Amino acid sequence: MMALPLLGAIFLLPSCESDPDSPGKEFMPDMYRSPAIETYVDYGEIRGRENKGLKSKLSARQTPKYTIPFVGTDETHVKMMMPNRYKAGKAWEASHGLFGWDLSEKSEYEMTRNDTVNPYKLDASNAKRILAEGKALYSSMCMHCHGEKGDGNGPMIQSGAYGDLGVVPAYKSLDTLSEGKIFHSIYYGKGYMGAHGSLLNKKEIWTLVHYVRQFQVDDYGKEEEVAEDKIEDSEEKPESVETEEEDTK
Ligand code: HEC
């Protein structure tokens, strides 16, 4: 019975400090101040403790080749993440920095012509949400070159920063481009446009394919929207996509 107060005294007394600003002895400092674990940092030495095995190793690296992100149980989502069927050409190593990528001798862009269709199906129930997701991605990754209206006249082009390098085409002028080609170009890059395959996952790219289409085809996805839409929006409401009165309740 004496043991408890004794134990208390052993643990509590060392915490006493005369300085009112001092926390006293910390038994588990990591619980108060966790070592900052950040990406791309060498963790070979933390607080004077050296771990030779970790020296000069980055904590976040490219996932191994052919890794398929497997998120949730949604089969269509997982299917969308399967490795790309068509490859970019060897020349993309130097032109678009695709070192270590699985490339073929020649670009397979032309092969994507007819048989690749957007696996992220857009229909009455999800058109608004998909286009809103597309708009969010487009605004942060594409708009500075392609322009808000997809006319190829984004702020980077207007500012002259892009010089007379490639001209950014207006999407309207590419309305015969297949979905597979649009995907391929976003994934691997084309001409003066960089590759986005390591920045966006495949679902995001297919979302952008819808968003690009929406610039090319009048009323893309709108027709369906007239129908009773039962969007169960878990995501935030986009301000951007023109919406009719929502009475989803
Ligand atoms: C640095 C500027 C820049 C950025 C950022 C950019 N693009 Fe491009 N994009 C271009 C240029 C330049 C071309 C013309 C490429 C060519 O045909 O030589 C192009 C072409 C395209 C094409 C036509 C491809 C084809 O097969 O003809 C599509 C579609 C496209 N971009 C979509 C996107 C999307 C979506 C994003 C955002 C993820 C994006 N671009 C980001 C500059 C850019």
Which residues pair with residue 190 across a beta bridge? 193
Residue nearest to ligand 1 atom 6, measured at CA: 142
122 & 193 share domain: yes
With a 6 A CB cut-off, is 131 part of the ligand 1 pocket? no
With a 6 A CB cut-off, is 231 part of the ligand 1 pocket? no
Assigned domain for 192 exists: yes
Assigned domain for 249 exists: no
Of the residues 49, 67, 85, the one at which a domain ends: 67
d(CA 40, CA 200): 19
129 & 215 share domain: yes
Assigned domain for 191 exists: yes
Structural domains in the chain (count): 2
Quickly list DSSP for 160-217: TTTTTSPPPPPGGGGTT--HHHHHHHHHH-BTTBPP-TTTS-HHHHHHHHHHHHHHHS
pTM of the predicted protein model: 0.71
Closest ligand 1 atom number to CA of residue 199? 38
The predicted structure's pLDDT at residue 24: 76
Closest by alpha carbon to 225, among 129, 81, 134? 129
pLDDT in tens, 187-232: 999 999 999 998 999 999 999 999 999 999 988 887 654 444 443 4
d(CA 15, CA 25): 5
CATH classification of the domain holding 87: 1.10.760.10
List the domain range (segments joined by +) for residue 81: 75-226
The alpha carbon of 179 and the centre of ligand 1 are apart by a number of angstroms equal to: 14
Report yes or no: 215 and 114 within 8 Å, Cβ to Cβ. Answer: no
Closest ligand 1 atom number to CA of residue 182? 29
Q: Is 150 helix (H, G, I), strand (E, B) or coil?
A: coil
With a 6 A CB cut-off, is 181 part of the ligand 1 pocket? yes
Residue nearest to ligand 1 atom 9, measured at CA: 193
For all residues of the chain together, what is the average pLDDT?
80
pLDDT in tens, 108-132: 999 886 667 898 999 888 999 999 9
Residue 122 identity (one-letter amino acid): L
